Amino acid sequence: MAEISASAVKNLREKTGAGMMECKKALVEAEGNEEKAVELLRKRGLAAAKKREGRTAAEGVVAALLTNSGATGVLVEVNCETDFVARGEDFQSLVDTIAREIASGNPASVDELRDQKISDGSGRSVGDLLTETIARIGENITVRRFDRFDKESPGLLGSYIHMGGKIGVLVEVSAGSEAVASSPAFAELVKDVSMHIAAAEPKFVHKNEVPEELLDKEREIARAQAMQDPKNANKPPQVIDKIVEGRLSKYYAEACLLEQPFIRDQAISINDLFSGKSKEHGCDINVRRFARYKMGEGLEKRADDFAREVEAALKE
């Protein structure tokens, strides 16, 4: 049996990120051959990662990336199992790499992203990188969703990340000229709108983006509420109709960005804000689109018995 030195174990650990005992065991099985030991660890990592793929990943971060040219913006949510891992350097580095790969490769879906080759020339795919990181960190990791915007000139892409990745926003604002779009005042406006979206949770930009079936449902709810109110018992149908439309206006003010009161000045709407800025700069200024993610939204959190998990791990 080949003698395994501490330095050989250390070198293998630095190269693979695996634990000291795993590295030593792999080197013993590979009779000191580092290349074979790396292969063994990769195979074991794949097996371990497959076991973890079914586990709930409801922690993580939302991250944004704007390319140096400002032409492309990315918003992505990557999930793991615990907040401890989400705050770690290894996970944060993975998320940054994934965002850059989305920006450079323009995948159409999460599945296409997983199959995409990483631009470092290694030949590995994003899926390979995820599997390797799962094996190294010991938690399931998933790319849940992403949005990628290519800027339409003239205009500006902006992003905002709140609470270290709990909420993220990507927004595109158009301007009537490049001179306006490149001004500090326009950049400040885009920043304000990004922060507003994070705080106010709009779902649409304009009223006309709201699906008709959703409006029908809101009308139905509003009518049922109006009819149940004793004050409306003897009111004619046309009055009830006005009450329903009034409540629909309230829904627009909650769901549509342009109808919402501006967080920095509740006396005006976002639409008023943009109308004022358009007059000030002498050109049309509009929000083209936005994406807003809240990390873990709709996902069920883990409620593991960690003592049992440790016991199960020891038996593997």
Q: Tokens 């693979």 — which residue?
A: 16
Pair 16, 92 in one domain? no
Q: Domain for residue 97, yes or no?
A: yes
Q: Residue 120 is part of a domain; what is its CATH number? A: 3.30.479.20
Pair 107, 94 in one domain? yes
Q: Domain for residue 75, yes or no?
A: yes
Pair 59, 143 in one domain? yes
**Helices 126-137, 34-52: crossing angle, 10 deg rounding:** 90
User: Which pLDDT does position 57 carry in this prediction?
Assistant: 83
Pair 36, 60 in one domain? no
Q: What percent of the chain has pLDDT over 90?
A: 65
DSSP label of 78: E
End residue of a domain, out of 90, 116, 150: 150
Res. 45: pLDDT tops 70: no
Res. 122: pLDDT tops 60: yes
Work out the angle at residue 137's Cα, subtended by the Cα atoms of residues 4 and 293, and round it to the nearest 5 degrees: 160
Q: Domain for residue 16, yes or no?
A: yes
Pair 42, 59 in one domain? no
Q: Residue 13 is part of a domain; what is its CATH number? A: 1.10.8.10
Q: Is-above-0.85 flag for pTM?
A: no
Q: Domain for residue 65, yes or no?
A: yes
User: Which pLDDT does position 314 carry in this prediction?
Assistant: 42
Q: Domain for residue 141, yes or no?
A: yes
Give the least confident one: 176-180, 247-251, 283-287, 301-305: 301-305
- Greatest mean pLDDT range, 134-148, 229-243, 265-279: 265-279
Res. 22: pLDDT tops 60: yes
Give all strands (DSSP E) within the chain, no chain letters.
Answer: 59-66, 72-80, 142-150, 155-162, 167-174, 261-262, 265-269, 286-294
Type of residue at 272: D
Type of residue at 141: I
Pair 33, 82 in one domain? no
Pair 120, 43 in one domain? no
Number of domains in the chain: 2
Q: Domain for residue 189, yes or no?
A: no
Pair 130, 92 in one domain? yes
Pair 35, 60 in one domain? no
Is residue 46 within 8 Å of 38, Cβ to Cβ? no
Pair 70, 144 in one domain? yes
Higher-pLDDT residue of 52, 248: 248
Give a three-class secondary structure readout of 133-166.
HHHHHCCCCEEEEEEEEECCCCEEEEEEEECCCC
User: Which pLDDT does position 159 carry in this prediction?
Assistant: 98
Q: Domain for residue 128, yes or no?
A: yes
User: Which pLDDT does position 274 carry in this prediction?
Assistant: 98
Averaged pLDDT for residues 27-38 = 89
Q: Domain for residue 294, yes or no?
A: no
Pair 57, 145 in one domain? yes
* Structural domain for 138, as ranges: 53-150
Res. 306: pLDDT tops 50: no
Pair 138, 69 in one domain? yes
Tell the burial category of 286 from Cβ atoms under 10 Å away from its Cβ (0-12, 13-18, 19+).
middle
End residue of a domain, out of 95, 117, 150: 150
Predicted confidence (pLDDT) per residue in 50-100, tens digit: 556 667 788 999 999 999 999 999 999 999 999 999 999 999 999 999 999
